[in-house]
Structure formats: structure tokens, C-alpha cells
Structure 1
Amino acid sequence: MKHKAKQQYDYHHWANNRLLKHLHHLPGEVYSKQVNSVFATVAEVITHIYRTDGMWLSVMTGDPLEETMVLIKQHEQEVEGQDLGGMETLYTAMSNKYESFFRSQEDLDVILSIEHPKYGKLECSIAELVQHVVNHGTYHRGNITAMLRQQGHPGVPTDYVFYLYDKS
């Protein structure tokens, strides 16, 4: 039986893909047009979600903080200057890394001990961190919907219930 955290990640992947495909159907300038919002452009939000997903995967795999920091810098370099198609390719690669990670895990409820230089020590399960990744993505996909509406374009429904309908 599929672990709930894995299903949640599958939803996250589905929602990201649905949004990226929707963006392809909008005028090209929508992706990089400056708007007065939480982020300056839709592109900035897309790259932020990607970089954050990568950071948390590094944490979940047990990488030391120093290694995670190097990976964050690598992800910043990867996304620099990427257009929507390039980001779609990076998202697919990230999803493949998550899938590989999930296959390698016997227990997503195992407790990890995380040390953060600013926030201190946290003990939580991999499943809880996956929930955070999903929640973070949902929040920022909402930002993108608002940004699209500011530009006169509709968003695309990415609520969890639409995922359930789509997969049934």
C-alpha cells in the first residue's frame, strides 16, 4: 500500500506539472512580466519552488548541512536564466530524484534529527518533511494564480481534490 506521504508528493508533482503546462498556453511574457506581488515574476516563484524542493530532498536524504548549502548554490546556478521549458526539464529531473528517494526508503515515518544554524534542532519524520514540501508548493502555486490574475489571465485548479478526480 502506498504511504500517505508518497501520495502527497505525487499530488505535488501533478500540481506542478499542471501549472507548468498551463503556463505554456499563456502568452510568453506572462512568465517573466514584473508584477507587484510577493515575488516580482512568475519565473521567480517557479524557481523558488524548485530550489526549495531540492533543499528539502537533501535534508531528507541525510546530507550534512554543508552539503545541503552547496546543493542550494548549485540549484541557484541551475535555474539562472532558465525559460519555462528549461524549468519544466529541471522539475522533471527533481521529481525523478524524489521517486528514486522514495524507492530507497523502507520507512517514511522514520524520525530525522535536523540541525539548523538559526532555528536549532528539530526531530520529525520524513513524512512530515514531505508534507512541508507539499504545503510549501501549494502556497506558492496560489501566489502564481494571483499573479496570473493580476495580468488578466486565469489560473488552473491544482487543489488536491482535482488531483483525486484526475487520478480516479
Structure 2
Amino acid sequence: MGSKNYCQAGFSSIAKVLTHIYTVDLMWLETLDGKTMKQSMELVQELESDVRSSEIDEIQHLFGATNL
């Protein structure tokens, strides 16, 4: 399978990639900060729909606004 086929099986948009990166990074940072995995996943689930509907500049602000 070539790399072109592999990419087609991944995320369908850059927005989905950024949403995934932001939420997974946040989940792990929260876990490293002492929250349980369950607490971290619940936080991510709450934020996921907000992030999905955000514009790129809002997502960029979210990345910079994470306070741990």
C-alpha cells in the first residue's frame, strides 16, 4: 500500500487533525498534571465538540491558552 492510500485512510480534513492533536495532547497533559485518565477523557469529551466547530484562529488560541 502506497503512502497516498495510507493518507486517504486517515483524517478527512486538517480541522479534524488539529482537533485530534489538541484534544489528545490536552488529555495527556491533564493526566500528567495528576488527574485520572477518566477525568482527563471526560474533559476532552466535553471540549471536543467545541473544538470541532471552531475556526483555525480559535484552535490556535486554545493551544496557547492551556494552563497547566
TM-score over 0.5 for the pair:
yes
Please report how far the alpha carbon of residue 66 of structure 1 lies from its aligned counterpart in structure 2 after TM superposition.
2.5
Based on CA coordinates, which of the two structures has the bigger radius of gyration? 1
**What is the CA–CA distance in structure 1 between the aligned matches of 2:8 and 2:37, rounded to whole Å?**
34
**Structure 1 position 41 matched with structure 2 position 22:** no
Q: Secondary structure at the match of 1:82?
A: coil
What amino acid is aligned across from residue 63 of structure 1 in structure 2?
Answer: K
Q: Give the counterpart of 2:63 among 70, 80, 91.
A: 91
2:4 corresponds in structure 1 to: none
Larger % of helix: which?
Answer: 2
For 1:90, what is the secondary structure of its paired residue? helix
Seq. identity, %? 29
Where in structure 1 are there 5+ consecutive unaligned residues?
A: 1-34, 102-168
Structure number with the higher strand fraction is 1
TM-score, length basis structure 1: 0.34
Count of residue pairs brought into register by the alignment: 62
Equivalent AA in structure 2 for residue 92 of structure 1: G
Q: Name the SS of the counterpart of 2:11 in structure 1.
A: coil
Structure 2-normalised TM-score?
Answer: 0.75
